[in-house]
Amino acid sequence: MSNKPANRIQDLQYFGEYGGVNPSISDSATYTFLHAKTMLDTFEGHAEGCYLYSRHSSPSNLYLSEALSAMEFTETANVAASGMGAITSVFLQVCGAGDHIVSGRTIYGGTYAFLKNFAPKLNIATSFVDITSLEKVEAAIKPNTKMIYCEAESNPLLEIANLPELAKIAKKHNIKLVVDNTFTPLIFSAEKLGADITIHSLTKFINGTNDTVGGVVCGSTEFINSLRNVHDGAAMLLGPVMDSLRAASILKNLRTLHIRMKKHSENALYLAENFERDGLKVVYPGLKSHKNHELFKSMYNEEYGFGGIMTIDVGNLEKANELMELMQHENLGYLAVSLGFYKTLFSAPGTSTSSEIPIEEQKEMGLSSGIVRMSVGLDNDIDRTYRAMRKCMKQVGVL
Protein backbone atom coordinates (compact mmCIF):
# COMPACT_ATOMS: atom_id res chain seq x y z
CA MET A 1 0.00 0.00 0.00
CA SER A 2 1.13 3.53 -0.75
CA ASN A 3 2.84 5.66 1.85
CA LYS A 4 0.64 8.65 0.96
CA PRO A 5 -2.80 8.95 2.56
CA ALA A 6 -4.71 10.12 -0.53
CA ASN A 7 -3.18 7.35 -2.67
CA ARG A 8 -4.37 4.82 -0.13
CA ILE A 9 -7.93 6.10 -0.46
CA GLN A 10 -7.64 6.15 -4.26
CA ASP A 11 -6.39 2.58 -4.34
CA LEU A 12 -9.50 1.18 -2.68
CA GLN A 13 -11.51 -0.55 -5.37
CA TYR A 14 -15.10 -1.50 -4.70
CA PHE A 15 -17.73 -3.03 -6.95
CA GLY A 16 -21.39 -2.61 -6.14
CA GLU A 17 -23.73 -5.58 -5.95
CA TYR A 18 -24.78 -5.05 -9.59
CA GLY A 19 -21.38 -3.97 -10.87
CA GLY A 20 -21.97 -0.37 -9.80
CA VAL A 21 -18.92 1.87 -9.46
CA ASN A 22 -19.96 2.68 -5.92
CA PRO A 23 -20.49 -0.03 -3.34
CA SER A 24 -24.12 -0.94 -2.77
CA ILE A 25 -25.74 0.66 0.25
CA SER A 26 -26.74 -1.82 2.92
CA ASP A 27 -30.37 -1.38 3.84
CA SER A 28 -30.85 -3.74 6.75
CA ALA A 29 -30.78 -3.45 10.50
CA THR A 30 -30.47 -7.20 11.00
CA TYR A 31 -29.01 -10.13 9.05
CA THR A 32 -29.99 -13.74 8.51
CA PHE A 33 -27.90 -16.80 9.27
CA LEU A 34 -28.22 -20.07 7.41
CA HIS A 35 -26.99 -21.94 10.45
CA ALA A 36 -27.78 -21.12 14.07
CA LYS A 37 -24.23 -22.01 15.09
CA THR A 38 -22.83 -19.17 12.95
CA MET A 39 -25.05 -16.71 14.83
CA LEU A 40 -23.52 -17.81 18.11
CA ASP A 41 -20.01 -17.59 16.65
CA THR A 42 -20.73 -14.08 15.40
CA PHE A 43 -21.88 -13.03 18.86
CA GLU A 44 -18.69 -14.38 20.28
CA GLY A 45 -16.72 -12.49 17.64
CA HIS A 46 -15.41 -15.61 15.90
CA ALA A 47 -17.31 -15.54 12.58
CA GLU A 48 -15.22 -13.45 10.21
CA GLY A 49 -17.18 -11.55 7.56
CA CYS A 50 -20.63 -12.13 9.09
CA TYR A 51 -22.96 -9.30 9.97
CA LEU A 52 -25.13 -9.59 13.03
CA TYR A 53 -26.96 -6.35 13.64
CA SER A 54 -26.27 -2.88 12.26
CA ARG A 55 -25.51 -1.26 15.62
CA HIS A 56 -22.53 -3.62 15.66
CA SER A 57 -21.47 -3.20 12.04
CA SER A 58 -22.91 -2.95 8.57
CA PRO A 59 -21.37 -3.33 5.10
CA SER A 60 -21.66 0.40 4.25
CA ASN A 61 -20.15 1.44 7.57
CA LEU A 62 -17.31 -1.02 7.11
CA TYR A 63 -16.49 0.39 3.67
CA LEU A 64 -16.24 3.89 5.11
CA SER A 65 -14.30 2.66 8.15
CA GLU A 66 -11.86 0.83 5.90
CA ALA A 67 -11.25 3.93 3.79
CA LEU A 68 -10.68 6.11 6.86
CA SER A 69 -8.29 3.63 8.42
CA ALA A 70 -6.40 3.54 5.10
CA MET A 71 -6.16 7.34 5.27
CA GLU A 72 -4.97 7.27 8.87
CA PHE A 73 -2.55 4.32 8.48
CA THR A 74 -4.27 2.41 11.27
CA GLU A 75 -5.17 -1.28 11.29
CA THR A 76 -8.87 -0.54 11.30
CA ALA A 77 -11.56 1.98 12.29
CA ASN A 78 -15.12 2.31 13.47
CA VAL A 79 -17.45 5.07 12.26
CA ALA A 80 -19.92 6.74 14.62
CA ALA A 81 -23.01 8.90 14.35
CA SER A 82 -21.08 12.04 15.28
CA GLY A 83 -17.65 13.23 16.31
CA MET A 84 -18.87 13.38 19.92
CA GLY A 85 -20.17 9.81 19.59
CA ALA A 86 -16.65 8.74 18.59
CA ILE A 87 -14.86 10.80 21.25
CA THR A 88 -17.05 9.84 24.19
CA SER A 89 -16.94 6.14 23.22
CA VAL A 90 -13.15 6.27 23.37
CA PHE A 91 -13.12 8.01 26.76
CA LEU A 92 -15.55 5.51 28.20
CA GLN A 93 -13.80 2.51 26.68
CA VAL A 94 -10.39 3.46 27.98
CA CYS A 95 -11.44 4.92 31.34
CA GLY A 96 -13.56 3.67 34.20
CA ALA A 97 -14.43 5.01 37.63
CA GLY A 98 -11.32 6.28 39.42
CA ASP A 99 -9.35 6.93 36.23
CA HIS A 100 -7.82 10.16 35.04
CA ILE A 101 -7.23 11.91 31.71
CA VAL A 102 -4.66 14.56 30.83
CA SER A 103 -6.22 16.76 28.16
CA GLY A 104 -5.21 19.80 26.20
CA ARG A 105 -7.09 22.80 27.55
CA THR A 106 -7.87 24.36 24.18
CA ILE A 107 -10.13 21.72 22.72
CA TYR A 108 -13.56 21.71 21.11
CA GLY A 109 -16.11 23.05 23.63
CA GLY A 110 -18.28 19.92 23.53
CA THR A 111 -15.33 17.67 24.37
CA TYR A 112 -14.31 20.08 27.11
CA ALA A 113 -17.85 20.10 28.53
CA PHE A 114 -17.99 16.30 28.51
CA LEU A 115 -14.71 15.97 30.39
CA LYS A 116 -15.43 18.81 32.78
CA ASN A 117 -19.13 18.27 33.56
CA PHE A 118 -20.17 14.78 32.51
CA ALA A 119 -17.19 12.49 33.09
CA PRO A 120 -16.95 13.44 36.82
CA LYS A 121 -20.43 11.92 37.25
CA LEU A 122 -18.74 8.62 36.35
CA ASN A 123 -15.80 9.44 38.62
CA ILE A 124 -13.47 10.08 35.68
CA ALA A 125 -11.31 13.14 36.37
CA THR A 126 -9.46 15.35 33.89
CA SER A 127 -6.52 17.71 34.24
CA PHE A 128 -6.60 20.37 31.51
CA VAL A 129 -3.11 21.51 30.58
CA ASP A 130 -1.32 23.66 28.04
CA ILE A 131 -0.63 20.90 25.52
CA THR A 132 2.26 22.86 23.99
CA SER A 133 4.15 22.57 27.29
CA LEU A 134 5.54 19.03 27.39
CA GLU A 135 6.71 19.59 30.98
CA LYS A 136 3.20 20.49 32.10
CA VAL A 137 1.73 17.50 30.30
CA GLU A 138 4.15 15.10 31.95
CA ALA A 139 3.77 16.72 35.36
CA ALA A 140 0.00 16.21 35.20
CA ILE A 141 0.28 12.43 34.73
CA LYS A 142 -0.72 10.46 37.82
CA PRO A 143 -0.67 6.72 38.60
CA ASN A 144 -4.35 6.48 37.55
CA THR A 145 -3.92 8.41 34.27
CA LYS A 146 -5.08 6.40 31.28
CA MET A 147 -4.58 8.76 28.35
CA ILE A 148 -3.24 11.99 26.97
CA TYR A 149 -5.96 13.59 24.86
CA CYS A 150 -5.40 16.43 22.43
CA GLU A 151 -6.40 17.99 19.15
CA ALA A 152 -3.57 17.95 16.60
CA GLU A 153 -4.51 21.54 15.80
CA SER A 154 -6.51 22.95 18.64
CA ASN A 155 -9.89 24.61 18.44
CA PRO A 156 -10.04 27.60 18.32
CA LEU A 157 -6.53 28.81 19.19
CA LEU A 158 -4.86 26.77 16.45
CA GLU A 159 -2.07 25.56 18.71
CA ILE A 160 -0.20 22.57 17.36
CA ALA A 161 0.43 19.51 19.51
CA ASN A 162 3.90 18.02 19.28
CA LEU A 163 2.65 14.52 18.56
CA PRO A 164 6.01 12.68 18.43
CA GLU A 165 7.05 14.10 21.81
CA LEU A 166 3.63 13.51 23.38
CA ALA A 167 3.81 9.94 22.09
CA LYS A 168 7.14 9.47 23.86
CA ILE A 169 5.63 10.69 27.13
CA ALA A 170 2.61 8.43 26.69
CA LYS A 171 4.81 5.43 25.98
CA LYS A 172 7.04 6.13 28.95
CA HIS A 173 4.01 6.11 31.27
CA ASN A 174 2.32 3.24 29.46
CA ILE A 175 -0.77 5.26 28.61
CA LYS A 176 -2.53 6.03 25.33
CA LEU A 177 -2.10 9.10 23.15
CA VAL A 178 -5.51 9.93 21.68
CA VAL A 179 -5.58 12.59 18.96
CA ASP A 180 -8.55 14.44 17.48
CA ASN A 181 -7.39 15.16 13.91
CA THR A 182 -10.60 16.89 12.77
CA PHE A 183 -8.94 20.14 11.64
CA THR A 184 -6.12 18.47 9.74
CA PRO A 185 -7.19 15.38 7.77
CA LEU A 186 -4.51 14.25 5.28
CA ILE A 187 -2.25 17.04 6.60
CA PHE A 188 -1.19 15.11 9.70
CA SER A 189 -0.94 11.33 9.73
CA ALA A 190 -1.37 11.10 13.49
CA GLU A 191 -0.70 7.39 13.80
CA LYS A 192 2.60 7.73 11.97
CA LEU A 193 3.48 10.56 14.34
CA GLY A 194 2.82 8.35 17.35
CA ALA A 195 -0.91 8.46 18.16
CA ASP A 196 -2.46 5.25 19.49
CA ILE A 197 -5.99 6.32 18.57
CA THR A 198 -6.99 8.94 15.99
CA ILE A 199 -10.46 10.47 15.99
CA HIS A 200 -12.29 12.68 13.50
CA SER A 201 -15.52 14.54 13.42
CA LEU A 202 -16.47 13.61 9.84
CA THR A 203 -18.95 16.49 9.95
CA LYS A 204 -16.17 18.87 8.95
CA PHE A 205 -13.61 18.62 6.13
CA ILE A 206 -13.96 14.90 5.51
CA ASN A 207 -17.60 15.08 4.49
CA GLY A 208 -17.29 18.71 3.42
CA THR A 209 -20.90 19.41 2.52
CA ASN A 210 -22.45 20.08 5.92
CA ASP A 211 -25.36 17.74 5.27
CA THR A 212 -24.66 15.36 8.15
CA VAL A 213 -22.80 14.81 11.38
CA GLY A 214 -20.50 11.83 11.68
CA GLY A 215 -17.40 10.58 13.44
CA VAL A 216 -14.73 7.91 13.37
CA VAL A 217 -12.26 6.21 15.68
CA CYS A 218 -9.13 4.83 13.96
CA GLY A 219 -6.83 2.48 15.82
CA SER A 220 -5.61 -1.06 16.33
CA THR A 221 -7.82 -4.04 15.55
CA GLU A 222 -7.66 -4.94 19.23
CA PHE A 223 -8.96 -1.56 20.38
CA ILE A 224 -11.64 -1.21 17.71
CA ASN A 225 -12.87 -4.74 18.43
CA SER A 226 -13.08 -3.82 22.11
CA LEU A 227 -15.22 -0.77 21.21
CA ARG A 228 -17.58 -3.04 19.28
CA ASN A 229 -17.60 -5.90 21.78
CA VAL A 230 -21.17 -7.03 22.43
CA HIS A 231 -20.49 -7.50 26.14
CA ASP A 232 -18.62 -4.36 27.15
CA GLY A 233 -17.89 -2.25 24.07
CA ALA A 234 -18.74 1.45 24.45
CA ALA A 235 -19.70 1.89 20.79
CA MET A 236 -21.87 -1.22 20.80
CA LEU A 237 -23.55 -0.50 24.13
CA LEU A 238 -23.96 3.28 23.98
CA GLY A 239 -25.09 2.95 20.38
CA PRO A 240 -23.84 6.06 18.53
CA VAL A 241 -24.18 4.24 15.22
CA MET A 242 -23.95 5.88 11.82
CA ASP A 243 -26.71 5.18 9.35
CA SER A 244 -25.67 3.23 6.23
CA LEU A 245 -27.06 5.82 3.83
CA ARG A 246 -24.87 8.45 5.44
CA ALA A 247 -21.83 6.21 5.43
CA ALA A 248 -22.27 5.72 1.69
CA SER A 249 -22.56 9.45 1.01
CA ILE A 250 -19.56 10.35 3.22
CA LEU A 251 -17.45 7.72 1.43
CA LYS A 252 -18.17 9.39 -1.91
CA ASN A 253 -17.16 12.79 -0.51
CA LEU A 254 -13.99 11.34 1.01
CA ARG A 255 -12.82 10.56 -2.54
CA THR A 256 -12.39 14.29 -3.25
CA LEU A 257 -10.89 15.27 0.12
CA HIS A 258 -7.33 15.66 -1.22
CA ILE A 259 -8.40 18.21 -3.82
CA ARG A 260 -10.50 20.11 -1.32
CA MET A 261 -7.83 20.20 1.40
CA LYS A 262 -5.29 21.66 -1.03
CA LYS A 263 -7.72 24.39 -2.05
CA HIS A 264 -8.83 25.16 1.52
CA SER A 265 -5.18 25.53 2.50
CA GLU A 266 -4.24 27.61 -0.53
CA ASN A 267 -7.13 30.00 0.09
CA ALA A 268 -6.57 30.27 3.83
CA LEU A 269 -2.86 30.99 3.36
CA TYR A 270 -3.70 33.70 0.84
CA LEU A 271 -6.14 35.43 3.17
CA ALA A 272 -3.89 35.00 6.24
CA GLU A 273 -0.84 36.47 4.51
CA ASN A 274 -2.74 39.39 3.09
CA PHE A 275 -4.64 40.26 6.26
CA GLU A 276 -1.43 40.03 8.29
CA ARG A 277 0.25 42.36 5.80
CA ASP A 278 -2.69 44.73 6.20
CA GLY A 279 -1.95 44.89 9.94
CA LEU A 280 -4.64 42.57 11.32
CA LYS A 281 -3.90 40.16 14.17
CA VAL A 282 -4.01 36.87 12.30
CA VAL A 283 -3.37 33.38 13.63
CA TYR A 284 -2.68 30.76 10.96
CA PRO A 285 -0.08 27.98 11.20
CA GLY A 286 1.14 28.74 7.69
CA LEU A 287 2.39 32.15 8.82
CA LYS A 288 5.97 32.46 10.04
CA SER A 289 4.57 34.48 12.95
CA HIS A 290 2.62 31.43 14.22
CA LYS A 291 4.38 30.10 17.31
CA ASN A 292 4.19 26.49 16.09
CA HIS A 293 4.95 27.14 12.41
CA GLU A 294 8.18 25.12 12.41
CA LEU A 295 6.64 22.31 14.45
CA PHE A 296 3.76 22.14 11.95
CA LYS A 297 6.26 21.85 9.10
CA SER A 298 8.14 19.09 10.89
CA MET A 299 4.99 16.98 11.05
CA TYR A 300 2.87 17.77 7.98
CA ASN A 301 2.30 16.05 4.65
CA GLU A 302 3.46 19.09 2.74
CA GLU A 303 1.24 18.84 -0.34
CA TYR A 304 -1.87 19.61 1.75
CA GLY A 305 -0.55 22.83 3.21
CA PHE A 306 -1.47 24.37 6.56
CA GLY A 307 -5.20 23.75 6.59
CA GLY A 308 -8.33 25.81 6.07
CA ILE A 309 -8.78 27.41 9.49
CA MET A 310 -7.51 30.83 10.50
CA THR A 311 -8.52 33.38 13.12
CA ILE A 312 -8.43 37.14 13.20
CA ASP A 313 -8.75 39.19 16.34
CA VAL A 314 -10.74 42.36 15.75
CA GLY A 315 -10.58 43.55 19.37
CA ASN A 316 -14.01 42.99 20.82
CA LEU A 317 -17.18 40.98 20.36
CA GLU A 318 -19.27 43.88 19.01
CA LYS A 319 -16.83 44.45 16.15
CA ALA A 320 -16.58 40.71 15.52
CA ASN A 321 -20.37 40.44 15.26
CA GLU A 322 -20.66 43.51 13.08
CA LEU A 323 -18.01 42.22 10.71
CA MET A 324 -19.50 38.73 10.47
CA GLU A 325 -23.00 40.07 9.79
CA LEU A 326 -21.66 42.32 7.06
CA MET A 327 -19.59 39.58 5.45
CA GLN A 328 -22.63 37.31 5.40
CA HIS A 329 -24.68 40.11 3.90
CA GLU A 330 -22.04 40.51 1.19
CA ASN A 331 -22.28 36.75 0.49
CA LEU A 332 -18.69 36.05 1.54
CA GLY A 333 -19.69 33.15 3.74
CA TYR A 334 -22.07 32.18 6.50
CA LEU A 335 -22.20 33.22 10.13
CA ALA A 336 -22.35 29.65 11.37
CA VAL A 337 -20.48 27.26 13.62
CA SER A 338 -18.67 24.25 12.20
CA LEU A 339 -16.00 24.14 9.55
CA GLY A 340 -14.69 22.37 6.48
CA PHE A 341 -17.54 23.51 4.23
CA TYR A 342 -17.23 24.56 0.58
CA LYS A 343 -18.36 28.07 1.52
CA THR A 344 -16.51 30.09 4.14
CA LEU A 345 -17.97 29.82 7.65
CA PHE A 346 -17.21 32.27 10.44
CA SER A 347 -18.10 32.45 14.10
CA ALA A 348 -16.86 34.05 17.31
CA PRO A 349 -15.66 31.03 19.32
CA GLY A 350 -15.98 32.70 22.74
CA THR A 351 -19.75 32.95 22.35
CA SER A 352 -20.30 29.81 20.28
CA THR A 353 -18.27 26.61 20.07
CA SER A 354 -16.12 27.46 23.10
CA SER A 355 -18.88 29.03 25.20
CA GLU A 356 -18.80 25.96 27.47
CA ILE A 357 -15.42 27.21 28.68
CA PRO A 358 -15.88 29.73 31.55
CA ILE A 359 -14.91 33.33 30.70
CA GLU A 360 -11.99 33.41 33.20
CA GLU A 361 -10.56 30.25 31.66
CA GLN A 362 -11.06 31.65 28.16
CA LYS A 363 -9.06 34.70 29.19
CA GLU A 364 -6.32 32.62 30.76
CA MET A 365 -5.86 30.54 27.62
CA GLY A 366 -5.77 33.62 25.41
CA LEU A 367 -9.22 33.25 23.88
CA SER A 368 -10.17 36.88 23.38
CA SER A 369 -13.79 37.84 22.70
CA GLY A 370 -12.80 39.62 19.48
CA ILE A 371 -11.59 36.44 17.78
CA VAL A 372 -13.34 35.48 14.58
CA ARG A 373 -12.66 31.93 13.46
CA MET A 374 -12.85 31.44 9.73
CA SER A 375 -13.10 28.15 7.94
CA VAL A 376 -12.04 29.29 4.52
CA GLY A 377 -14.09 27.90 1.65
CA LEU A 378 -13.21 26.64 -1.80
CA ASP A 379 -13.58 30.02 -3.50
CA ASN A 380 -12.29 29.89 -7.06
CA ASP A 381 -10.90 33.44 -7.04
CA ILE A 382 -9.59 34.06 -3.54
CA ASP A 383 -8.17 37.46 -4.40
CA ARG A 384 -11.69 38.61 -5.27
CA THR A 385 -12.84 37.30 -1.88
CA TYR A 386 -9.93 39.00 -0.14
CA ARG A 387 -10.75 42.34 -1.68
CA ALA A 388 -14.42 42.05 -0.75
CA MET A 389 -13.57 41.03 2.84
CA ARG A 390 -11.12 43.88 3.13
CA LYS A 391 -13.86 46.27 2.08
CA CYS A 392 -16.07 44.92 4.89
CA MET A 393 -13.25 45.31 7.39
CA LYS A 394 -12.71 48.90 6.35
CA GLN A 395 -16.43 49.56 6.61
CA VAL A 396 -16.67 48.32 10.20
CA GLY A 397 -13.43 50.06 11.09
CA VAL A 398 -11.15 47.16 11.96
CA LEU A 399 -8.74 48.07 9.16
Q: Which residues bind ligand PLP (CB under 6 A)?
A: 82-84, 108, 110-111, 151, 155, 180, 182-183, 201, 203, 213, 215
Q: Which is nearer to ligand PLP, 278 or 361 (CB)?
A: 361
Q: Decide whether 214 or 286 has the Cβ nearer to ligand PLP.
A: 214
Minimum CB distance to ligand PLP smaller for 320 or for 339: 339
Q: Which is nearer to ligand PLP, 152 or 236 (CB)?
A: 152
Distance CA 357, CA 387 (A): 34
Q: How far is the CB of 108 from ligand PLP (least distance, A)?
A: 4
CB closer to ligand PLP, 106 vs 385: 106
Q: Among residues 156, 161, 88, 157, which one has the least CA distance to residue 126?
A: 88
* 119 neighbors 87 (Cβ within 8 angstroms): no
Task: Name which of 145 and 181 has its Cβ closer to ligand PLP.
Answer: 181
- d(Cα 267, Cα 270) in Å, to the nearest integer? 5
Instruction: Give SS3 for 351.
Output: helix
Least separation in angstroms between residue 117's CB and ligand PLP is 16
Three-state SS at 336: coil
Residue 112: name the closest of 364, 354, 365 by CA: 354
What's the min distance (Å) between Cβ of 137 and ligand PLP? 19
Give the C-alpha separation, 112 to 357, whole Å: 7
Smallest gap from Cβ 365 to ligand PLP, in A, equals 15
Residue number of the CB atom closest to ligand PLP: 83
Q: How far is the CB of 161 from ligand PLP (least distance, A)?
A: 12
Nearer to ligand PLP, 215 or 370 (CB): 215
Tell me the closest approach of the beta carbon of residue 6 to ligand PLP, in angstroms: 21
Q: What does the alpha-carbon distance between residue 375 and residue 386 come to, in Å, rounded to a whole number?
A: 14
Ordered strands of the 345-347 beta sheet = 281-283, 309-313, 371-375, 345-347, 334-335
- Other residues' Cβ atoms within 10 Å of the Cβ of residue 138: 18
C-alpha span between 66 and 251 (Å, rounded): 10
What is the nearest approach in angstroms of ligand PLP to the Cβ of residue 123?
24
